Structure 1
Amino acid sequence: MSKFLVAGVTQIETIVRVDKVPVSYVPLTSANDSIFTAVGGDAYNESLALKWLGDDVTFMSIVGRNQDLGIINPPDRKVTLSTEYIVPQMNETPTEVVFYDKNRKQQIFEDIKDLRENTYDMSMVTPLVNSCDMMVLANANFCRPFALAAAEHNKPIAVNIRNYNPEKEKYNTDFLKPAKVLYFSDDTLTEDPYAFIDRMASTYGTEVIILGQGSEGLIIYDKTKDIRAHYKTVKTNEVVNTIGAGNALFACFLHYYMETGDSVNAIKNALLFASYKIGFMGTSNGFMTTEQVEQWRNLIWGIKMTPFEEHGN
C-alpha cells in the first residue's frame, strides 16, 4: 500500500450514448439507459481507483460553494473518499457533457466555471506532504503550488496532462519539469507519437511517460530501464463506455509502479484494469480488484507474483 496525495478537478459529468459522433440534428431522441449523470473528473476518478486498489488516498479539490458533498460517496459504492479536503469555494462546480458512440468516438463539452480564478489553501497541504509517497496532480491552475510543495519536500510527482496542446505547453512547464511520471492522451496529438515522447523526455528529463492511444493501446517510455515500447489493448470485458479509461489506467499504473518499481509489469496490470473499466457506464465505476488483476495477468501474460508482492511488502 502506498500513500498518495491527489489534487485536481471534481466535476459533474453527464454521459450520453448516441448513434454517431458528431450528432446529427433531430428534434427529439428517446433511448432508454442512454444518459448517465454522476461525479467525475480526472483526479476524482484516479483517487477512487487508487483507493479501490488498497492505497491510502488524500484527495484535495475545490467545488461549488453550495455543492452537497454527499454526492462524492454514493451509498451503493464499496469504497469511500474523505471529503475533508474538498473545499466548497467556487461559484459553481465544474460540469461536463460527453457524447460517445459505438466506435469509441467522443465529443466533449466542458464548463469549468470559475476554476481558473480559484486557489487552494496550501496551509492544509503542507503538513501532509511529508507523509505521502507520491503526489498525483492535474494540470489545473490551483495545483501549481502543489508541484512546488512536492519539489521542496523531494516527493515524486505524477501528472495527468490529458490532451496535449503545443500552444499551451509553456503554461504546463510547472508540471512538466518536476514530474517523475507523465500521462498524455494522443487525442489531439499532431506529431509522430514516438517523436513526441522523445521530445518530452529530452526536454524535461522525465523518468516515465505514458501515451494513451485509445483502442490502439499505448506507448510507454522508461528512462531508467531504457524502454520505449508499444502495448496493444487487451480484452477482459465487452465495451460499454470508454470514458474514464485513461484515468483508471494511470491510477493502476501508479499503484503497481510505486509498489514494485517495475514499469512493464505495472503497465500490463494497468491495461487489464482499464479494459475491465470500459465494460461499465460512468467514469467512476467498474474497477478490478487486485485479485482480479492477478488472475487476468497470469492468464494473458503468465506473469506470477514476485516474492516482494507475495509477502505484501
Structure 2
Amino acid sequence: MSQIFVAGLINIETTVAIDGFPLEYFPVRYPFNGLHSAVSGVGWNIARALTALGNRVDFASLVGTDENGAMARRTVARAGVDDALVLCTLEKTAQSVILYDPDGRRQIHVDLKDIQEREYPLGLAEAALGACDLAVICNINFVRPLLQAVRATGKPIATDVHALADLEDAYNQEFLAAATILFLSDERLPGTPEVVIKELLQRYPAEIIVIGLGNKGALLGVRKNGFIGRYPAVHTRAVVNTIGAGDALFAAFIDRYLRTGDPYGALEAAQVFASYKIGEKGAAEGFLSGTELDSWIAKGKGAA
C-alpha cells in the first residue's frame, strides 16, 4: 500500500449514448437508459482508481459552492477518501458531457467554469505532500503552484499531458519539466510514437514515459536501460465507453510501479485494469480492486 497525493479536476459528468458519429441533427432524441450522470474528472478518476487498488490517497481539488460541489465532496467521502482538501472556492463546479457510440468512440465537452483562473492554496497541501510516496499532479492550471513544492521535497511526480501536438507546447512545459513518470496519448502527436518518445526522453527528465495507443496498446520508454517497446492491447470484456481509459491506465501503472519498481510488469497490469474499466459508461466507474486485478492477470486474460 502506497501513500499517494493526487491534485486535479473533479467535475459532474453526463454521458450520452448515440447511434454513431457524425451525429445527425434531430430535434428530439429518446436514448432510453442512455444518459448517465456521475462525479468524474481526471483528478478524481485517478484518485478513485488508486483507492480501489488499495492505496491511501490524499485528493486535492476545487469545486463550487453549488449543489454540484456538495455532491462531488459527498462522493469523495463515500469512496473512502478524505474530502478535506476538496475546497469549495468556486462559484460553480466544472461539468462535462460525453457522447459515445456503440464502438466506444467518444467526444468530450468540458466546461471548466473559472477554475483555470484559480490557484490551489499551497499551505493546505504541504502536510499531504510531505507524507506521500509520489505526487500525481494533473495538467490543469490551478495545481501549478504545487509542482515546485513537490520538487522541493524530492518526491517523484507523475503527470499525464494527454494530447500533445507540440513537444514545446507552452501550456505543458512546467509539467513536462517536472515529471518523473510521464503519460500521454498518441492522439495529435507530431510524429510516430517511437520518434516522439525518443525526443521526449532527450528533452525532458522523465525516467519513464508511456504513450497510450488506444486499441493498439501502449508504448513504454524506460530511461535507465534505453528500452522502448510496444505492448499490445488486451481484452477482458466488451467495450461500452472508452472515456477514462487513459486515467485508468495511468493510475494502475502508478499503483503497480510503486509496489514493485518494475515498469514492464506495471504496464502489463495496467493494460488489464484499463481494459476492464471501459466496460462501464462513466469515467470513474469499473475499477477492479487489487485482488480482482491479480485474479484477471492470473487467469491469463488480456490476450490481444
Range into which the TM-score falls when normalised by the shorter chain: over 0.9
> Corresponding residue for 1:69?
70
1:172-251 correspondence to structure 2 within 5 Å: 172-251=172-251
Give, in angstroms, the shift of residue 285 of structure 1. 1.1
Describe the shift of the 1:74–1:146 C-alpha distance in structure 2 as closer, same or farther (beyond 3 A): closer
Amino acid of the residue matched to residue 8 of structure 2? G
Describe the shift of the 1:236–1:41 C-alpha distance in structure 2 as closer, same or farther (beyond 3 A): same
Amino acid of the residue matched to residue 42 of structure 1? V
Q: Is the Cα contact below 8 Å between 1:137 and 1:159 reproduced in 2?
A: yes
Describe the shift of the 1:301–1:229 C-alpha distance in structure 2 as closer, same or farther (beyond 3 A): farther
Aligned mates of 1:59, 1:301 — CA distance in 2: 32
> Corresponding residue for 1:305?
none
Aligned mates of 1:287, 1:73 — CA distance in 2: 19
Give, in angstroms, the shift of residue 36 of structure 1. 0.9
Describe the shift of the 1:258–1:92 C-alpha distance in structure 2 as closer, same or farther (beyond 3 A): same
Describe the shift of the 1:197–1:37 C-alpha distance in structure 2 as closer, same or farther (beyond 3 A): same
1:4-15 correspondence to structure 2 within 5 Å: 4-15=4-15
RMSD across aligned C-alpha pairs, in angstroms?
1.9
Q: Is the Cα contact below 8 Å between 1:21 and 1:107 reproduced in 2?
A: no
Aligned mates of 1:301, 1:235 — CA distance in 2: 7
Aligned mates of 1:262, 1:197 — CA distance in 2: 19
> Corresponding residue for 1:287?
287
Amino acid of the residue matched to residue 23 of structure 2? V
Q: Which sits farther off after the overlay, 42-51 or 108-117?
A: 108-117
> Corresponding residue for 2:113?
113
Give, in angstroms, the shift of residue 3 of structure 1. 0.6
Aligned mates of 2:61, 2:214 — CA distance in 1: 27
- Percent identity for Structure 1 against Structure 2: 34
Aligned mates of 2:272, 2:167 — CA distance in 1: 33
Aligned mates of 2:245, 2:151 — CA distance in 1: 29
Residue correspondences, number: 301
Q: Is the Cα contact below 8 Å between 1:15 and 1:36 reproduced in 2?
A: yes
Aligned mates of 2:245, 2:223 — CA distance in 1: 25
Q: Secondary structure at the match of 1:296?
A: helix
Deviations 1:279-305 (A, max 9, x none): 112111111121222122223289xxx
Q: Which sits farther off after the overlay, 1-10 or 218-227?
A: 218-227
Q: Secondary structure at the match of 1:81?
A: coil
> Corresponding residue for 2:94?
94
> Corresponding residue for 1:85?
85
Q: Is the Cα contact below 8 Å between 2:235 and 2:301 reproduced in 1?
A: no
Q: Is the Cα contact below 8 Å between 1:45 and 1:244 reproduced in 2?
A: yes
> Corresponding residue for 1:308?
none
Give, in angstroms, the shift of residue 108 of structure 1. 1.6
> Corresponding residue for 1:44?
44
Aligned mates of 1:258, 1:177 — CA distance in 2: 21
Give, in angstroms, the shift of residue 112 of structure 1. 1.0
Amino acid of the residue matched to residue 15 of structure 1? T
> Corresponding residue for 2:57?
57
> Corresponding residue for 2:138?
138
Aligned mates of 1:104, 1:190 — CA distance in 2: 25
Q: Which runs of 5+ in 2 are unaligned?
A: none
1:21-40 correspondence to structure 2 within 5 Å: 21-40=21-40
Deviations 1:61-106 (A, max 9, x none): 001122443444449x973222110011112111111111123322
Q: Secondary structure at the match of 2:170?
A: helix
The TM-score with structure 1 as length reference comes to 0.91
1:154-169 correspondence to structure 2 within 5 Å: 154-166=154-166, 169=169
Amino acid of the residue matched to residue 235 of structure 1? H
Q: Which runs of 5+ in 1 are unaligned?
A: 303-313
Deviations 1:165-206 (A, max 9, x none): 328712211111121011111222242111111111110021
Aligned mates of 1:70, 1:38 — CA distance in 2: 9
Q: Is the Cα contact below 8 Å between 2:65 and 2:88 reproduced in 1?
A: yes
Aligned mates of 1:292, 1:139 — CA distance in 2: 30
Give, in angstroms, the shift of residue 226 of structure 1. 2.5
Q: Is the Cα contact below 8 Å between 2:48 and 2:284 reproduced in 1?
A: yes
Aligned mates of 1:85, 1:220 — CA distance in 2: 33
> Corresponding residue for 2:19?
19
Amino acid of the residue matched to residue 21 of structure 2? V
Q: Which sits farther off after the overlay, 218-227 or 166-175?
A: 166-175
